């Protein structure tokens, strides 16, 4: 048996502790024993990845008090109570206080093993949901978050964080749909330039005869059709970040001027003799190999070297498949909130279909599927995507987990709609204040992620 869960055993009888821990260790569990309830309570870490097994009758602190204090620390922590003959009524009381289950002494190891497996699975699912929720809530803060905890994403984030507040220009390389603009926005939003403009321009979408005026600006009469003065993207982004997407599409003649602007850090609008000093970061993005284009004479080599001071390579989605469940949930929850639709959790077969797909369209393709999943349902969405038809009769989540999922989603939607107002959320969900706060704590929902800073706390 393999498990990431730890088992903490609490009993004032050392012989019982020894017998339980030896038996569980033989079954592959990692165990830690305590004879003092206060020592266990003090040692328990936040988000403890494990299960607590406690006796009921102890001299320093009884089992019911232990259950209550553990619940106060973490309402989702599974606690299994050991009870002697005649203490069934007390064990039931412990269940009412939040204990996960109870088992009579002398302990039947096969029965304990079964209960522990169920409790451990629930605990790991709860902690995973908290982790996902924390990442999803990060995206609500107004700053772009790069979702995913695969090694490739961790490495990319580490490199981005190293250059956040440096003046260096950055070249982003990635396949179509991999999220190049999101990476550029992450650089801007998390840097000291975030109070200034982020300006994005697709160099391949602008007619060649207009791209110079778009980038550098122009004076009235600078060229045929220039009926008024035009502010260029460089000037508009001054103090902030200019994102040049599909930089490989820039005409060679424009590349010469672009190189000069990058080197001199000033821009002269068409038809003007007055240059404008620039305090700007330029982030360029490409889906092709610029060095190979340069070797063929299709891209200026000197511009490539100027842009390539820091290169960020975005991993393709097929190279970080462990991020797919989190990304799918993120996009589906956004779609559910946008379209006012419920979002059913994926079952295991549907998840397997996502993980087996090659994702040539990368994150953009996954986002589109998640939106169709919310709008049209699993069957239609998966068929349109050319994925194996999902089996809607099986589910990776049991009834309790599905109910909890919907409950969490409804609370988050209500808080989002009311901009974090507890009073309005209570009214919308018809919940008492204490019940709402208890459920928010249970699901790790932070009001601050939804709160409108202009709303006074006293107005709740």
Q: How many domains does the chain have?
A: 3
- 1 part of a folded domain: no
**In the listed set 279, 295, 315, which residue is the last one of a domain according to the structure?**
315
Are 159 and 80 found together in one domain?
no
Task: Say if 455 falls within a structural domain.
Answer: no
Q: Judge whether residue 106 has pLDDT over 80.
A: yes
pLDDT (tens digit, 9 = 90+) per residue, 47-57?
898 999 999 88
Instruction: Give the CATH number, domain containing residue 342.
Output: 1.10.8.60
Q: What's the rounded Cα separation, in Å, for the pair 154 and 37?
A: 39
Contact indicator for 2, 28 with CB cutoff of 8 Å? yes
Task: Map residue 50 onto helix, strand or coil.
Answer: strand
Quick check: 140 pLDDT over 80? no
Query: CB atoms < 10 A from the CB of 226, how many?
Result: 15
- Angle CA(81)–CA(84)–CA(88) in degrees, nearest 5? 70
**Mean pLDDT taken over the chain:** 84
Question: Measured between alpha carbons, how far is 216 from 229 in angstroms, rounded to an integer?
Answer: 12
In whole angstroms, give the CA distance from residue 351 to residue 372. 15
Whether residues 196 and 307 fall in one domain: yes
Domain match, 245 and 382 both: no
HEC profile for 244-284?
Answer: EECHHHCCHHHHHHHHHHHHHCEECCECCCCCEECCCEEEE
The pLDDT value recorded for residue 133 is 62
Higher-scoring residue by pLDDT: 191, 443: 191
In this structure, the answer to whether residues 307 and 327 fall within a common structural domain is: no
The domain that holds 129 is classified in CATH as 3.40.50.2300
**Mean pLDDT lowest among 96-100, 174-178, 309-313, 381-385:** 381-385
Contact residues for 342 (Cβ-Cβ < 8 A; gap 6+): 336, 406, 409
Ranges 207-216, 352-361, 386-395: which has the least confidence: 386-395
pLDDT at 371: 92
Which pair of structure tokens corresponds to residue 383? 């068929």
CB-based contacts of 369: which residues, under 8 Å, 6+ apart? 328, 354, 381, 382, 385, 387
Residue 29 lies in a domain: yes
Q: Are residues 118 and 156 in the same domain?
A: no
Lowest mean pLDDT: which of 106-120, 229-243, 255-269, 428-442? Answer: 428-442
Task: Report the greatest alpha carbon distance in the chain.
Answer: 97
Q: Looking at the predicted structure, is the pLDDT value of residue 305 above 70?
A: yes
Give domain status of residue 456, yes or no. Answer: no
117 in any annotated domain: yes
Whether the per-residue pLDDT at 104 is higher than 60: the answer is yes
Residue predicted with more confidence, 441 or 452: 441
Mutual orientation of helices 324-339 and 109-138 as an angle, nearest 10°?
60
User: Which of 281, 315, 349 represents a domain boundary (last residue)?
Assistant: 315
pLDDT band for position 137 (50/70/90)? Answer: low
pLDDT at 398: 54
Residues 70 and 172 grouped into a single domain: no
Identify the DSSP state of 218. Answer: B
Residue 297 CB partners (closer than 8 Å, separation 6+): none
The two tokens of residue 277 are 């000093």
On whether residue 458 sits in a domain, the answer given is no
Same domain, 293 and 163: yes
What's the pLDDT tens digit per position in 340-371?
A: 887 777 777 888 888 888 899 999 999 999 99
- Phi, psi angle pair for 225, to nearest 5°: 95, -5
Q: Decide if 168 is inside a domain.
A: yes
Residues 87 and 54 in one domain: yes
The answer on 119 and 16 residing in a single domain is yes
Q: Which long-range contacts (CB under 8 A, 24 or more apart) does 404-407 make?
A: 404/443, 405/345, 406/342, 407/439, 407/443
Q: Which long-range contacts (CB under 8 A, 24 or more apart) does 43-50 make?
A: 44/8, 44/70, 44/73, 46/74, 47/74, 47/127, 47/130, 48/6, 48/8, 48/74, 48/77, 49/4, 49/5, 49/6, 49/123, 49/124, 49/127, 50/5, 50/6, 50/7, 50/8, 50/120, 50/123
Q: Which of 287, 315, 343 is the last residue of a domain?
A: 315
Q: Does 247 reside within a domain?
A: yes
- Structural domain containing residue 408: 320-449
* pLDDT, tens only, 71-81: 999 988 999 99
The CATH number of whichever domain residue 235 belongs to comes to 3.40.50.300
Same domain, 310 and 200: yes
- Indicate whether 416 and 277 sit together in one domain: no
Same domain, 325 and 419: yes
């Amino acid at each position: 048996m393999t498990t990431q869960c730890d088992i903490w055993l609490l009993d004032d009888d050392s012989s019982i502790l020894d017998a339980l821990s030896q038996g569980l260790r033989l079954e592959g569990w990692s165990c830690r024993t305590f004879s003092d309830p206060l020592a266990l309570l003090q040692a328990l870490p936040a988000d403890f990845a494990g299960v607590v097994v406690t006796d009921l009758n102890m001299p320093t602190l009884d089992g019911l008090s232990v259950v209550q204090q553990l619940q106060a620390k973490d309402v989702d922590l599974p606690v299994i109570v050991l009870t002697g003959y005649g203490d069934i009524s007390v064990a039931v009381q412990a269940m009412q206080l939040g204990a996960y289950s109870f088992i009579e002494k002398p302990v039947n190891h096969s029965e304990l093993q079964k209960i522990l497996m169920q409790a451990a699975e629930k605990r790991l699912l709860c902690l995973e949901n908290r982790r996902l929720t924390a990442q999803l809530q990060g995206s609500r803060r107004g700053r772009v978050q790069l979702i995913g905890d695969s090694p490739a994403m961790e490495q990319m984030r580490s490199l981005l964080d190293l250059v956040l507040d440096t003046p260096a220009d950055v070249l982003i390389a990635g396949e179509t749909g991999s999220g190049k603009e999101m990476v550029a926005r992450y650089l801007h939003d998390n840097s000291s330039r975030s109070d200034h403009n982020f300006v994005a321009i697709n160099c391949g979408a602008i007619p060649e005869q207009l791209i110079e005026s778009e980038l550098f600006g122009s004076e009235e009469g600078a060229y045929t059709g220039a009926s008024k003065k035009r502010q260029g993207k460089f000037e508009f982004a001054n103090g902030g970040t200019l994102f040049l997407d599909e930089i490989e599409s820039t005409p060679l003649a424009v590349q010469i001027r672009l190189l000069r602007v990058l080197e001199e850090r000033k821009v002269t609008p068409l038809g003007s003799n007055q240059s404008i000093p620039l305090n700007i970061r330029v982030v360029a993005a490409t889906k092709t190999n610029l060095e190979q284009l340069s070797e063929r004479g299709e891209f200026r080599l000197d511009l490539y070297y100027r842009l390539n001071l820091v290169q960020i390579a975005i991993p393709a989605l097929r190279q970080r498949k462990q991020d797919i469940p989190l990304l799918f949930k993120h996009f589906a929850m956004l779609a559910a909130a946008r379209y006012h639709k419920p979002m059913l959790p994926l079952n295991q077969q549907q998840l397997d279909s996502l993980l087996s797909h090659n994702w040539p369209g990368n994150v953009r393709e996954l986002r589109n599927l998640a939106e169709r999943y919310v709008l049209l349902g699993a069957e239609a969405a998966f068929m349109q995507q050319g994925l194996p038809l999902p089996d809607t009769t099986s589910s990776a989540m049991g009834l309790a987990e599905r109910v909890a999922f919907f409950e969490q989603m409804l609370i988050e939607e209500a808080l989002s709609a009311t901009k974090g107002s507890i009073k309005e959320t209570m009214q919308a969900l018809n919940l008492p204040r204490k019940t709402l706060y208890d459920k928010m704590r249970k699901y790790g929902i932070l009001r601050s992620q939804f709160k409108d800073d202009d709303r006074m706390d006293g107005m709740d």
